């Protein structure tokens, strides 16, 4: 059996192995040094990636914590976040700063998307709801409107008319925990997207049906709920016979959509004082 020792030469045995992060291993007369996972031997690729991300976050966060101006800004942002999301309250400014930088880095390099399927498993305690407007109960509609107001008005500061009439003909897709909405989007069709086209002989030209997704949100970030919602949103669009799914994506969220094979159409534009870009994705059966 291979011998394991710390850098100072002391032996590492049994449960004491948990105390060692960087160890030497002697095998066939040669000494190898590597990071040790206390429970399962050498660190896995996922653990190494997590440690690398941790190092990047601290490299950005540490200078901010010693800068009085940046620290004050983080403190104010944390107070606003805690007021809007009491269920995910941060106790220290460093915790909030770590979370914020982590989300920014993950947005730049989001995880690879999972293959789209309507059988995507849901996390424990989470339920999926897909309903047209007419089938929503008053309580269900209340929670949807509450989540949209919380994210788009209170958090992002957008001034707009939320009840725009589209809800009445839309399909509402939500992830819920004990009735409360934690991720949501609506799926709908605009008449101008599906105007019939005819050839010179007056014959109808077959065109893919275009559906749109809007009001996409999550009230609990960093837990993968947006990704799960998107998978079910795409599956539902296919189920309704759509050939193209189109979105008005906030420009800062464009990398998220690209990982689901959405492509940009045209140049960015301003909508509700926020840069947006029109994106769509071809759907295959």
**Per-residue pLDDT tens for 233-272?**
999 999 888 999 999 999 888 999 999 999 999 888 888 8
Fold for 127-282, please state it: Aminopeptidase (3.40.630)
Band of the pLDDT at 31, cuts 50, 70, 90? low
Rounded mean pLDDT, 22-48: 58
Tokens representing 11?
A: 């032996």
* Chain segment 197-224, per-residue pLDDT in tens: 777 777 777 888 899 999 999 998 888 8
State how far the Cα of 261 lies from the Cα of 45, in Å rounded to an integer.
Answer: 26
CA 171 vs CA 93, 111, 194, 202, 244: distances in Å? 39, 28, 17, 33, 16
95: pLDDT strictly greater than 70 = yes
The residues spanned by each domain of the chain are 3-42, 45-108, 127-282
Lowest mean pLDDT among 36-45, 70-79, 120-129, 275-284: 36-45
Listed range (11-15, 132-136, 209-213, 260-264) with the worst mean pLDDT: 11-15
Strands (DSSP E) contained in the chain are: 3-6, 22-27, 30-37, 41-42, 127-132, 171-177, 180-188, 210-218, 244-250, 263-271, 274-282
User: Is residue 62 over pLDDT 50?
Assistant: yes
């Amino acid at each position: 059996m291979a011998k394991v020792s710390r850098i100072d030469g002391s032996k590492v045995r049994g449960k004491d192995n948990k105390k060692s992060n960087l160890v030497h291993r002697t095998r066939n007369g040669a000494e190898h040094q590597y990071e040790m996972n206390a429970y399962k031997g050498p660190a896995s690729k996922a653990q190494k990636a997590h440690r690398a991300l941790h190092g990047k976050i601290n490299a950005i966060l540490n200078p901010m914590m010693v800068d009085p101006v940046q620290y004050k800004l983080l403190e104010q942002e944390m107070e606003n976040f805690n007021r809007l999301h009491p269920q995910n309250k941060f106790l220290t400014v460093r915790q909030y700063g770590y979370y914020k930088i982590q989300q920014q880095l993950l947005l730049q390099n989001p995880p690879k998307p999972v293959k789209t399927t309507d059988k995507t498993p849901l996390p424990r305690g989470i339920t999926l709801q897909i309903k047209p407007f007419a089938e929503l109960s008053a309580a269900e509609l209340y929670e949807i409107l509450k989540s949209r107001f919380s994210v788009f008005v209170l958090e992002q500061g957008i001034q707009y008319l939320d009840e725009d009439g589209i809800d009445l003909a839309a399909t509402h897709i939500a992830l819920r925990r004990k009735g409360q909405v934690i991720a949501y989007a609506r799926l709908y069709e605009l008449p101008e997207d599906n105007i019939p086209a005819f050839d010179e002989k007056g014959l109808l030209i077959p065109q893919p049906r275009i559906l749109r997704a809007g009001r996409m949100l999550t009230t609990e970030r960093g837990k993968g709920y947006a990704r799960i919602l998107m998978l079910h949103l795409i599956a539902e669009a296919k189920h309704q016979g759509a050939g193209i799914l189109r979105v008005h994506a906030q420009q800062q969220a464009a990398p998220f959509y690209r990982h689901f094979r959405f492509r940009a159409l045209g140049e960015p534009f301003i909508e509700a004082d926020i840069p947006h870009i029109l994106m769509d994705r071809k759907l295959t059966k």
